[in-house]
Amino acid sequence: MKVAVIGTGYVGLVVGACLAETGNDVLCADVDGAKIAGLKENRLPIYEPGLEPLVVRNQREGRLQFTTEVGRSVERSDVIVIAVGTPPDEDGSADLQHVLAVARAIGQHMNQPKIVITKSTVPVGTAARIRAEIAKHTSVSFHVCSNPEFLKEGAAVDDFMKPDRVIVGVDSEDAGRVLAELYAPFVRTGNPIIFMDTPSAEMTKYAANAMLATRISFMNQMARLCEAVGADVTLVRKGIGSDRRIGPAFLFPGPGYGGSCFPKDVKALLRTAELNGMRFDILESVEAANERQKRLLFEKVERHFDGKLAGTAVAVWGLAFKAETDDVRESPALVLVEALLSAGATVRVHDPAAVASARRHLGDRVTYAAHAYEAVDGAAALVIVTEWLEYRNPDFDRIKRLLVRPLIVDGRNLYDPVRLTRLGFTYDSIGRPVACASS
């Protein structure tokens, strides 16, 4: 099948590479000439495990191409995927200017009947707006479908190749048959393609992310309560996660959710509710709880120093909002670092993949360590924000020698408090009693 993917950001690049991997002829288009030039030379603009080999292999075999000519990509394709960004507007709603610009270009270059698929995360009613925009510029028949993505950063290739489900909002049986053929290679193990109307498909994306954000904020609030009453949130998580009605996923407490999806989609859903005359009370609380949670690690560090952080060196492990990505958008680590700097601390940071992304936000106000232990050397505390594998089983004896004070504040509950106490650390994690070495 000849497919055009408009937009080569996180979603578009993963979609294009995975569709090419299953034998489709894919042309990815983007107006960013520098990005396209890099992609043609197999230089990816994002870090995503497993993606680079797909891009390299499919370019080499001629199934995947990159271009800045959006019009040409539309003209030579049967299926067009819109995968451009929908950043939050000032009022929290999704900014659709890029989506509608692509729709305009599609209409202007519609040379035969085509199927247009919206992969961008868009509010309910966007498919109708896309259809209307395309129709202004063409009399050729076309279909507009909603096909939201459910890709986790750090596992996006696996999520696309082996999806839990594929959600497709269609406007006709003909369009449904084409999308069923397109996605057949990905659902051979029996996971479903769920067909529905386009508004329901658009809403499903927001509902899924809002539910996951709610679970995260709920557990973060439970963790705060556990600390207050002396309970252990790790045991509480196991207790409730074993209930089949609840399940174990997204019940790990942490420093707050971030990234490109949850914060933006919660805001957009709140805005949709407001425009339709209702208050989404639960999501308002979720958003407020998450903003408070992002301050928690700083508050913990501040307490250990009695509020006197001026001139204190603090090491921070992890800048990305989660492991296996270089994405620092809405990252709790940036909130922590900014708060430490405002309190007069000096900050040394390490991340296996996100230093370049973080530098665009933090500039030269922090010290960037090439190795994790380099960040710790001479620091008075180590704070762990991102759950990278290399942080899970470090050399604690070395860490203790390098720190001027044996204090670890762990935002991901990576370590055993009993073990850290035996090793002589003060260990402060999320939702568990602070573990202190006996004097």
Distance CA 68, CA 35 (A): 9
Q: Rounded to an integer, what distance in angstroms lies between the CA atom of residue 19 and that of residue 5?
A: 10
List Cβ neighbours of 259 (8 Å cut-off, separation of 6 or more): 153, 321, 322, 325, 327, 329, 330, 331
Return the SS3 of 142: strand
Among residues 28, 145, 226, 261, the one annotated as catalytic is 261
CA angle 265, 361, 320 (to 5 degrees): 60
**DSSP code at position 434:** P
- Smallest CA-to-CA distance from 297 within 370, 373, 224, 397 is with 224
- Known catalytic membership, residue 261: yes
C-alpha 74/C-alpha 198 separation (Å) is 22
- Whole-number Cα distances in Å, 423 to 106, 109, 397: 63, 67, 8
C-alpha distances in Å from residue 123, one per residue of 91, 115, 144, 196, 290: 14, 20, 15, 16, 22
Q: Give me the phi and psi of 423, to 5 degrees please.
A: -80, -5
DSSP string for 284-298: HHHHHHHHHHTTHHH
Helices 281-293 & 198-229 angle (0-180, nearest 10): 50
Active-site residue numbers?
261
